[in-house]
Chain A
Amino acid sequence: MIERPLTKNIDMTRPPLAIADYESNDGYQSIRNIAKGMSPSDVLQKTKDSGLKGRGGAGFPTGLKWSFVPQGDDTPKQKYFVVNADEMEPGTFKDRLLMEGDPHLLLEGIIIGSFAIQADTAYIFLRGEYKVAEQRLKKAISEAYDKGLLGENILNTGFNLDIIVHTSAGRYICGEETALLNALEGKRANPRSKPPFPQVSGLWGKPTIVNNVETVCNLPGIFTYGIDWYQSLTKGKDHGTKLFGISGKVKNPGCWELPLGITIRELLEEHGGGMQDGLELRGFLPGGGSTDFMLPEHLDLKFDYDDIAQAGSRLATGTMILLDDKTCPVGMIGNLMRFFAHESCGFCTPCRDGLPWVVAIFDEFCKGQGTRKDLEILHEHVEYMGPGRTFCALAPGATAPLGSGLRYFSEDFEKLIKD
Chain B
Amino acid sequence: MSENLIASTASKARRLTDEEIHEIEHEMELYPDKRAVGLEALKIVQKHQGWVSDESMLAISKFLEIPVSDLESVATFFNLVYRQPVGENVILFCNSVSCWVMGCESMRSHINEELGIDFGQTSEDGKFTFLPVPCLGDCDKAPVMMVGDDLHRNLTQEKINDIILSYKERK
Residue numbers of A with Cβ under 8 A of B are 87-93, 95-96, 127-132, 164, 166-172, 183-189, 204, 245-249, 253-255, 285, 289, 319, 321-324, 327, 331-332, 335-336, 339, 342-343, 345
A189 CA to B70 CA in the complex, in Å? 12
A327 CA to B39 CA in the complex, in Å? 40
Number of A-B contacts (CB under 8 A): 132
Could you say which of B6-14, B98-106, B107-115, B158-166 contacts chain A? B98-106
| Residues B43 and A204 in contact, CB atoms below 8 Å apart | no
B side interface size, CB within 8 A: 42
**Could you tell me the distance in whole angstroms from the C-beta of A46 to the nearest C-beta in chain B?**
31
Contacts of A130 in B (CB 8 A): 137
Residue numbers of B with Cβ under 8 A of A are 30-33, 35-40, 42-43, 66, 70, 73-74, 77-81, 92, 95-98, 100-102, 133-142, 146, 149, 151
Further 10 A-B residue pairs, CB within 8 A, beyond A164-B30, A169-B43, A184-B36: A96-B137, A96-B138, A167-B43, A187-B35, A188-B73, A247-B101, A253-B140, A253-B142, A321-B98, A339-B96
Contacts of A169 in B (CB 8 A): 39, 42-43, 78-81
Cβ-defined partner of A186 (8 Å) among B39, B138, B149: B39
A257 CA to B95 CA in the complex, in Å? 27
| Residues A170 and B39 in contact, CB atoms below 8 Å apart | no
**Could you tell me the distance in whole angstroms from the C-beta of A332 to the nearest C-beta in chain B?**
6
Known: A184-B36, A332-B97. Contact between A339 and B43, CB under 8 A?
no
| Residues B140 and A335 in contact, CB atoms below 8 Å apart | no
Known: A90-B135, A332-B101. Contact between A183 and B39, CB under 8 A?
yes
**Could you tell me the distance in whole angstroms from the C-beta of B106 to the nearest C-beta in chain A?**
13
Contacts of A90 in B (CB 8 A): 96-98, 134-135, 139
| Residues A343 and B43 in contact, CB atoms below 8 Å apart | no
| Residues B97 and A289 in contact, CB atoms below 8 Å apart | yes
Cβ-defined partner of A248 (8 Å) among B31, B36, B96, B98: B98
| Residues A92 and B80 in contact, CB atoms below 8 Å apart | no
A330 CA to B43 CA in the complex, in Å? 38
Known: A93-B140, A127-B137, A335-B100. Contact between A185 and B80, CB under 8 A?
no
| Residues B138 and A339 in contact, CB atoms below 8 Å apart | no
Shortest Cβ-Cβ A-B pairs, 5 listed:
A170-B79, A247-B139, A169-B78, A247-B98, A253-B140
A96 CA to B149 CA in the complex, in Å? 15
Contacts of B32 in A (CB 8 A): 204
Contacts of B149 in A (CB 8 A): 131
Contacts of B36 in A (CB 8 A): 184-186
Known: A90-B135, A169-B39, A186-B36. Contact between A128 and B80, CB under 8 A?
yes
A172 CA to B133 CA in the complex, in Å? 11
Would you mind naming 23 contact pairs between A and B with Cβ atoms under 8 Å apart? Answer: A90-B135, A91-B97, A91-B135, A91-B139, A92-B137, A93-B135, A95-B137, A169-B81, A170-B133, A171-B77, A171-B79, A172-B134, A186-B74, A188-B73, A245-B139, A246-B140, A247-B142, A253-B139, A289-B135, A322-B101, A332-B97, A332-B101, A335-B100
**Could you tell me the distance in whole angstroms from the C-beta of B109 to the nearest C-beta in chain A?**
15
Contacts of B77 in A (CB 8 A): 171, 188-189, 345
Cβ-defined partner of B102 (8 Å) among A187, A249, A289: A249
A132 CA to B35 CA in the complex, in Å? 27
| Residues B35 and A186 in contact, CB atoms below 8 Å apart | yes
Known: A188-B73, A289-B96, A339-B96. Contact between A321 and B78, CB under 8 A?
no
Interface centre among A91, A172, A189, A254 (most CB of B within 10 A): A91
| Residues A129 and B146 in contact, CB atoms below 8 Å apart | yes
A92 CA to B70 CA in the complex, in Å? 32
**Could you tell me the distance in whole angstroms from the C-beta of B24 to the nearest C-beta in chain A?**
12
Contacts of A321 in B (CB 8 A): 97-98, 101, 139
